Structure 1
Amino acid sequence: MQRRQLAARLALLVFATTGCAWAGNGPGGYPDKPVRLVVPFLAGGATDLMARSLAQKLSLELGQQVIVDNRAGAGGALGAEAVANAPRDGYTLLYSTMGVLTINPSLYANLKYDPATSFAPIAMTHVTSNLLVVNPEVPARSVAELVALARNKPGELTFSSAGNGTSSHLSGELFKSMAKVNLLHVPYKGTAAAVGDLLAGRVTMTFDTTSNFVEQVKAGKLRPLAVTSRSRSPVLPDVPSMSELPGFADFDVSLWSGMLAPAGTPEALVKYLNQAAVKVMSEPAMKTYLAPYSIEPLHSSPQEFAGVIEKDRRKWAAVVKSAGVRVD
């Protein structure tokens, strides 16, 4: 979607709000100045879109501007590290994807933050999925046919990813393991290049965020075979989830995101921010805004969020170890 269209949607989202809190209504008069929400990826992608929609609504709820600060690098590790070392006063927060908190610990040998001890989880806020798509020239119209093709041509089919250790890469590795097929991984520096070669027919398939493919799928430029979450995408309701398919009952790559503070942030502030996040993510306007991108609003308690982080950290550690993936 073009930037002007995105800006218009964000404006509509803001005007659709039902109310606005007054600044300083939190513990100790918090917040009495702008709050910085660090996004550890470049502007313009799905993560940035989700973070900015959250920041717009939180600004209204908190009565102070929530400023998105994009700090990309090292698969999100640089931005996460900056927040881990920030003051524990609620004015520097992290908007994190699943990968930063649950995949990076197994990929990077010298990671300078620990998801279990460096942050105070506030709330989960969004969830989406990856989509398995193939070039239309590939003679497979279902996952079963793709698996059969891969078994007949071991090592010949390729899957692109946005880079080593990304969720698109590990989705492919999980697929390889569960399907018991030999696919060649072709890593790129970002989604755009990976999708570009898929469209050109230079690679067979890819897994990446569903919202990145909706327009190409509807135009017939790519063929969707399955979504990686347990629920089907409301934007592509005829595309099955992987877990519906024989042999893939345990396949689940749900790409959640959420907000965290540095560890040691006062519990009262964490609770206040959780209540604000739950309120804005529960608004009908948020659901309406996110629906075209195949993104669902979520909310959780800090404790629930911490439990999901630990569960998924163990899951992806096993996948990374099995695939032998390492990023220096």
Structure 2
Amino acid sequence: MPDTAPPGSLPRRALLAVALAAPAVARAQGADWPNRPVRYINPYPPGGPTDTLSRLWCARMSEITGQQFVVENRSGSGGNVGADAIAKSAPDGYTVGLGGIASHAIAPTLYASLPFDPHKDFTLVGGLWQLPNLLAVNLALPARDVPELIALLRAHPGKYSYGSAGSGTTLHLAGEMFGQMAGVEMVHVPYRGSAPAQLDLVAGRIHMMFDNIPGTLALSRQGQVRPLAVTSLKRSPVAPDIPAISEFLSGFDVVSWTCLSAPAGLPPVMVARMSALSRRALESEALIKSYRDLGAETWWTTPEDIASFRAAQEARLAPLIRASGARVD
């Protein structure tokens, strides 16, 4: 049969070539992602909340896609070691990882220099979860709610201390924001992680603490500390009886948020595919329940929305970081 076609149309052989090439083009652009195992870098140590929440999301993604999502913990330098590993990976979609407030909104102001450019070296695919912090006080402190605490702190500026998991963390910045908005002066005591700070809070060596909700909520339910408020804009479904600080200080809002991060340069088709699959995972009832049991809320966003959110968070937190004096050279 002659290879002819009506005027203005492609010859049959050309049409056949296009048809045969289509699957290869789709693969190259990532429309079939994932077609092999995916490495997921968690920039924090194993065993903590971010590790548990990451593994739950990866397990759900493995169920949805039929491909393994393998968690690799690359901790160090407040999450910057793992973030750098993500940034310097091949932009093929088979190395992704955990981004969030620490590496993408706090680090640009907190660190004098970084091994990566938080504005240019990543593809942010979308949100994963948000985790509020909890303000808890030692049982001996004579304050049973936020208004009483503010009154106590105003009456005794600089007398009372609060602990955090380290300078420049959301826990530290929650205290800094509280001090600014309430017009009170507290002494910040940074620790290397939440566990030693919790011990000192229970023992009364520090008076109060801002901490991720799972740890201090457990202590409060054991009767070892007194919970006063959560730092999210609204109450947490995990503890609806505990008010939000925003109920007393309008607009107060400091939460730990995370996102799915990948190297810069991923094809848009692949990004859209990742986003859609992640949405399926995050909207599953099983994952929503598992996250809430740990004090977190699933949080899906579009790639465009997470980029805008990240920029707004950096701009909002930068003055707090500078005012706190936290700086890593």
Give the TM-score, by structure 1 length: 0.89
Partners of 2:80 and 2:300 in 1: CA distance: 24
Partners of 1:112 and 1:28 in 2: CA distance: 31
Partners of 1:74 and 1:44 in 2: CA distance: 18
- Deviations, residues 274-325 of structure 1 (Å, cap 9, x unaligned): 1110001001111111222221111111001111100001011111112221
Pairing 1:282–2:278 present: no
SS of equivalent to 1:213: helix
1:235: Cα distance to partner? 2.1
Partners of 1:308 and 1:28 in 2: CA distance: 26
Structure 1, unaligned runs of 5 or more:
1-23
1:265: Cα distance to partner? 1.1
Match of 1:136 among 129, 132, 139: 139
Partner of 1:8: none
Partner of 1:27: 30
- Match of 1:142, as an amino acid? D
Partner of 2:187: 184
Moved over 3 A (4+): none
- Match of 2:295, as an amino acid? S
Partners of 2:273 and 2:306 in 1: CA distance: 15
Partner of 1:127: 130
- Match of 1:242, as an amino acid? I
Partner of 1:214: 217
1:182: Cα distance to partner? 1.2
Partners of 2:224 and 2:49 in 1: CA distance: 20
1:94-133 alignment, distance < 5 Å: 94-133=97-136
Partners of 1:151 and 1:160 in 2: CA distance: 18
Partner of 1:314: 315
Partners of 2:50 and 2:287 in 1: CA distance: 15
Contact 1:25 1:31 (8 Å CA) reproduced: no
Partner of 1:10: none
- Match of 2:306, as an amino acid? F
- Match of 1:159, as an amino acid? Y
Partner of 1:14: none
Q: Which moved more, 1:36-45 or 1:112-121?
A: 112-121
Contact 2:132 2:230 (8 Å CA) reproduced: yes
Match of 2:61 among 58, 62, 74: 58
1:25: Cα distance to partner? 12
- Match of 2:315, as an amino acid? R
Partners of 1:226 and 1:139 in 2: CA distance: 16
Partner of 2:22: none
Q: 1:301 to 1:28 in 2, by over 3 A?
A: closer
Pairing 1:301–2:299 present: no
Percent identity of the aligned residues? 39
- Match of 2:302, as an amino acid? S
- Match of 2:143, as an amino acid? A
Pairing 1:92–2:110 present: no
Partners of 1:229 and 1:29 in 2: CA distance: 38
1:34: Cα distance to partner? 1.4
Contact 1:198 1:205 (8 Å CA) reproduced: yes
SS of equivalent to 2:195: helix
Partners of 2:157 and 2:150 in 1: CA distance: 10
Match of 2:226 among 207, 223, 246: 223
Partners of 1:196 and 1:312 in 2: CA distance: 31
Partners of 1:62 and 1:273 in 2: CA distance: 10
1:42-81 alignment, distance < 5 Å: 42-81=45-84
Partners of 1:196 and 1:146 in 2: CA distance: 21
Q: Which has the larger radius of gyration?
A: 2
Partners of 1:167 and 1:327 in 2: CA distance: 15
Partners of 2:118 and 2:151 in 1: CA distance: 39
1:30: Cα distance to partner? 3.3
Partners of 2:147 and 2:32 in 1: CA distance: 58
SS of equivalent to 1:208: strand
- Match of 1:316, as an amino acid? L
Partners of 1:141 and 1:32 in 2: CA distance: 55
